[in-house]
Structure 1
Amino acid sequence: MALLMILTAQFLQICVAQPPETPSRIAVVGAGIGGSAVTYFLQQQFGAQVQIDLYEADRIGGRLATLTVNNQQYESGSPYIHSLNLHMQGFVKHLGLKHRKEVAGKNAIYNGEQLVLEETDWYLLNLFRLWWHYGISFLRLQMWVEEVMEKFMRIYTFQAHEYAFSSMEELLRSLGGEHFVNMTHKSVGESLQAIGVSQKFIDDVISAVIRASYGQSVAIPALAGAMSLAGTPGNMWAVEGGNKLVCSGLLRLTKANVIHGKVMAISLHSSEKRPIYEVRYEQDGTLSSQNYDLVIIAAPLHKTGYPISFHNFQPPVEQPNGTYHRVVTSIVHGYLNSSYFGFSDPKLFPFFSILSVDSPDSSFFSIESLCPVNVSVGFRRKTPQEAAVWRVLSPRPLDRKELKTFFKSYYSVQVIEWQAFPSYMSVGPSRSLPPIILHDGLYYLNGVEWAASSVEMSAVAAKNVALLAFNRWFDLHEKIDQPDLLHKLKTEL
């Protein structure tokens, strides 16, 4: 009898599957919004017991950055966040941060000779002017953008139910079918023409918005264009104290081990159970290495991006095609030359933002009056007869002559050159998006930028990578790349 009980117990031990162990160590490369968010989501999935090392060679926040002018800080990187960005909204709420007080201002569009569109304080008058100049093109645009955003918002439902996607194509297909995938191949200009938006509206308005967002033309992919065009004034917000506080706050919340070093190489080492990844990095002139179960790269791997070499991988990990597009940000503290835009009396100049259409003679993408990251009670935007802080986006650094053209005089100029966004024209229209899975436990987050580049797209990609790594680690294949997911969830509910 005793022997029978022992044999039964042994049989049950063999038959009952033991849950796999969680990864003991995870590496994240890059501490921008993507790296900070994926660190947070990984801890949510795997638990607080997992050690997460985050490597950053520069500063926490990446392209979410500030600089100081006249003892106040201003956004030098991504200045605004869309109101529909639910992950960013959640981060701000969870971290106890606040939305920065909105300071109203009007926009205008400049074609190199004159202002072709001027915003007023009256909503109905603005609509009338759009209709008068462009017919119903602006209504067609609005309907198109709303349809795209409505479908994009499905990702939050999918991720709330812990579904993940092994490629960007699968993620996009789940949101809007092949049409969404095709939006990464077809240009925004072609897409808008196809729905009846006039060429004049595209040339005057769409091109100006795209240039102010990406520093590129209406030849960028339609999905990236739609995301940019969704960010209309009134739908945007910023974090009190600076948007970069989201990144530092998430890392502080997760208690991630931040290693201020530059990752040089990642090597694959075989193991009886799962592969081990050796991360080699340079810190203060010293080369070191650490081993990990999972590695997430949250930095650009393209030719002008983050130069990491990969060893012992078969097939080899290939560097994605394409380059990044340079955008120059000049933060100028001075007096705007309003007469350049047709206002001889600066007291009559009502605009806080001037966008430039795509023309051969244009030397800037946008000029915008900035508010400090901490807006005090009673703060108002300064008029051109007062010294203010202006943010000028341009394709190259402004020379002295150009500065004297745009500004009557100035106290200081600080210049930041960004490899800010993918150069969408550096690869052909039939390109495939960069892979998410580079190896069994090696993931690439920043490929999402080639579908569309924004703070929230990085946060969405971060959540997807965390869910994908978790589901693949525990063999939850029913949670990966499920077809007709929207219908499936409706049926379950």
Structure 2
Amino acid sequence: MNPQTLSLRALLILGLWHSGRRSLASAPELKEQPKKIAVVGAGIGGTAAAFYLRQEFGAAVKIDVFEPGNVGGRLATVKIGDYEYETGGAVIHPLNLHMKEFIEKLGIPPRKDVPSKMAIFDGKDLTFEESDWFIVNFLRILWRYGFNFLRMHMWVEGILDKFMRIYQYQQYGYSFSSVDRLLHAMGGDSFLTLVNQTLEETMIDEGFSQIFLNDIVAPVMRVNYGQSVRINGFVGAVSLAGADSGLWAVDEGNKRVCSGLLYHSKSDLIPARVTSISVKVRPSKTGTTTSFYEVNYVGESGSAHSLYDIVIIATPLHQGKSDITFSGFSPPIPSHYPGLYHQTVSTLVHGMLNVSYLGTTEPASKFTVSDILTTDSKGSIINSLSSLDPVHIPKGYKRPPASQTKVWKIFSPKPLTEEQLQDMFLSWDSVSETRWLAYPSYRPPHRKTPPFILHNRLYYINAIEWAASAMEMSAISARNVALLAHHRWHQQASKIDQEDLHTRLRGEL
């Protein structure tokens, strides 16, 4: 076989086959490892960082993970009746290789699949209702949208093929110093273009019809990011990938991945809120000076502080999300970077749906739609309405029809009023509301993202969210930052910001 003809996915498999291989060339001699590393935040980004830092720096380094709330961050569940239900990040794409690796290493099974049906609601009526028959759905979509749906699938597949390159780079130990460099390594200038224009502009340029964007694409953006087709093209493509088939979740809740990674990394969880980080210079035994980072925090026992060689920030440094201050840094590090996080309200209702609210005359006993997406119209006060299954599917479980009391999850931009709930439900016995600042408000053109490197040995995982926010994006950023911290500590500049992996691989074959 001519090595020039190897496909991206073939190269990826080749890379994964060389599991554990640190580099394509012999590594230079490493200096002494750091003694203490701090990770601020125990969501998927922070716990994945702890996992990868342990891989990179070995068993001797002490890793402390600071978290004032529950491990899992924006991955969370709530108990209603006898079962727990997902309130945060709910689905994982089949090509999310880091998340797949996590559950395999941790021995956590995926949740059993329950067949689902989708409909689209314009605020007054159901404009589309999925049939149990594939051919019926295909013909309906073909009649209304032509080949737009098939072309969208192919367009997203093309982007995913480029996206997959990051796994090859990370498998071979390559890291990137900025979000833009990481995106360029994945998709070249085309990915940088995607983050600098709206999804609507991108898809219109690709030949998709406006009616297809309004009826199909916009509802997907609303359920995944609570925003419109005017978000950036890259996060829009990530969102459309999240509407693909084969999506899965973790048995007993996605937050289990975070607690599992924390345990597997042998890190120490410190239940405290970090208030400030500063630089401290201390004399060393050799007569020179060494700098450390002082992490100040408040826990149940009051205020305390500790010194660390490396610090990883895994919580958003934005208004409404963090109050960490930074002192003694030159140039100064801001407490809040520009940009706001978008509010999505997640309301879980254990009740009986009023199907007439959806404009259907179908009896509730025959209404088996589980996921209702909404168009971007004045009549839509909600972003989505979904019938929830428990995070653990018991044996013999069948999703109840709409004529029975069950748990529904509503995403909306604002808290729902009593009157609005009365319109949607005939009755209910419990309501649980969670207000998430879950993801950035994506408004291109793409402004300068926060850096991965805040200072010499101070790193920021959540910078990646300004390209796209998803569980796998956080895991990719965690892996990148762990590699970056390792290479910079050991002065391995040849593994940072290099985009020659494919050339070097072909040279070895």
TM-score after normalising by structure 2? 0.91
CA pair 363-285 structure 1, distance change in 2 beyond 3 A: farther
User: How many angstroms apart in 1 are the aligned matches of 2:206 and 2:244?
Assistant: 24
The alignment partner of 1:275 has SS state of: strand
Aligned AA (1:315): P
Aligned with residue 107 of structure 1, among 118, 139, 142: 118
Matched, 1:487 2:498: no
**2:206 alignment partner in structure 1:** 195
Matched, 1:360 2:378: yes
- 5+ unaligned residues in a row in structure 2: which ranges? 1-27, 283-287
Shift of 1:348: 2.2
CA pair 485-347 structure 1, distance change in 2 beyond 3 A: same
Aligned AA (1:414): S
**2:471 alignment partner in structure 1:** 455
**1:268 alignment partner in structure 2:** 279
Shift of 1:344: 4.5
Aligned AA (2:166): I
Decide which moves more: 476-485 or 451-460: 476-485
Aligned AA (2:400): K
Shift of 1:430: 4.0
The alignment partner of 1:310 has SS state of: strand
Shift of 1:32: 0.2
Matched, 1:328 2:345: yes
**1:212 alignment partner in structure 2:** 223
CA pair 90-273 structure 1, distance change in 2 beyond 3 A: farther
The alignment partner of 1:448 has SS state of: helix
The alignment partner of 1:201 has SS state of: helix
The alignment partner of 1:472 has SS state of: helix
1:118-160, Cα deviation, whole Å (9 max, x unpaired): 2112222212111111111112211110011111011111111
User: How many angstroms apart in 1 are the aligned matches of 2:506 and 2:201?
Assistant: 34
Aligned with residue 386 of structure 1, among 392, 404, 408: 404
User: How many angstroms apart in 2 are the aligned matches of 1:270 and 1:483?
Assistant: 36
1:49-103, Cα deviation, whole Å (9 max, x unpaired): 1100000011100011000001210001111111111111011011110011100
Aligned AA (2:99): M
Aligned with residue 415 of structure 2, among 377, 397, 400: 397
Preserved contact between residue 487 and residue 493 of structure 2 (Cα < 8 Å): yes
Aligned with residue 426 of structure 2, among 408, 416, 434: 408
CA pair 482-233 structure 1, distance change in 2 beyond 3 A: closer
Preserved contact between residue 140 and residue 195 of structure 1 (Cα < 8 Å): no
User: How many angstroms apart in 1 are the aligned matches of 2:41 and 2:213?
Assistant: 36
Counterparts in 2 of 1:226-375, with a 5 A limit? 226-232=237-243, 234-271=245-282, 272=288, 274-284=290-300, 286-318=302-334, 319-341=336-358, 342-375=360-393
How many residue pairs align between the two structures?
Answer: 475
User: How many angstroms apart in 2 are the aligned matches of 1:228 and 1:186?
Assistant: 15
Decide which moves more: 449-458 or 282-291: 282-291
1:298-346, Cα deviation, whole Å (9 max, x unpaired): 0000122211100000100123210100000000000011111213510
Preserved contact between residue 275 and residue 440 of structure 1 (Cα < 8 Å): no
Shift of 1:424: 1.3
Shift of 1:488: 2.9
User: How many angstroms apart in 2 are the aligned matches of 1:209 and 1:411?
Assistant: 30
**1:6 alignment partner in structure 2:** none
**1:13 alignment partner in structure 2:** none
Aligned AA (1:402): Q
TM-score after normalising by structure 1? 0.94
Decide which moves more: 135-144 or 305-314: 135-144
Shift of 1:270: 2.8
User: How many angstroms apart in 2 are the aligned matches of 1:480 and 1:125?
Assistant: 51
Preserved contact between residue 200 and residue 229 of structure 2 (Cα < 8 Å): yes
User: How many angstroms apart in 2 are the aligned matches of 1:364 and 1:440?
Assistant: 45
Shift of 1:361: 2.5
Aligned AA (2:136): L
Aligned AA (2:422): K
Decide which moves more: 354-363 or 258-267: 354-363
The alignment partner of 2:234 has SS state of: helix
Aligned with residue 232 of structure 2, among 202, 221, 225: 221
User: How many angstroms apart in 2 are the aligned matches of 1:223 and 1:253?
Assistant: 33
Aligned AA (2:276): A
The alignment partner of 1:351 has SS state of: coil
Preserved contact between residue 124 and residue 379 of structure 2 (Cα < 8 Å): no
The alignment partner of 1:109 has SS state of: strand
Aligned AA (1:143): M
- 5+ unaligned residues in a row in structure 1: which ranges? 1-16
User: How many angstroms apart in 1 are the aligned matches of 2:333 and 2:113?
Assistant: 46
User: How many angstroms apart in 2 are the aligned matches of 1:472 and 1:127?
Assistant: 52
Shift of 1:489: 2.8
Aligned AA (1:146): E
Preserved contact between residue 207 and residue 357 of structure 1 (Cα < 8 Å): yes
Matched, 1:178 2:196: no
Preserved contact between residue 138 and residue 197 of structure 1 (Cα < 8 Å): no
Matched, 1:475 2:486: no
Structure number with larger C-alpha Rg: 1
Aligned AA (2:320): T
1:191-210, Cα deviation, whole Å (9 max, x unpaired): 11111110001001110000
CA pair 18-249 structure 1, distance change in 2 beyond 3 A: closer
Shift of 1:483: 3.0
Preserved contact between residue 122 and residue 379 of structure 2 (Cα < 8 Å): no
Counterparts in 2 of 1:81-96, with a 5 A limit? 81-96=92-107
Decide which moves more: 124-133 or 448-457: 124-133
User: How many angstroms apart in 1 are the aligned matches of 2:90 and 2:321?
Assistant: 22
Preserved contact between residue 123 and residue 381 of structure 2 (Cα < 8 Å): no
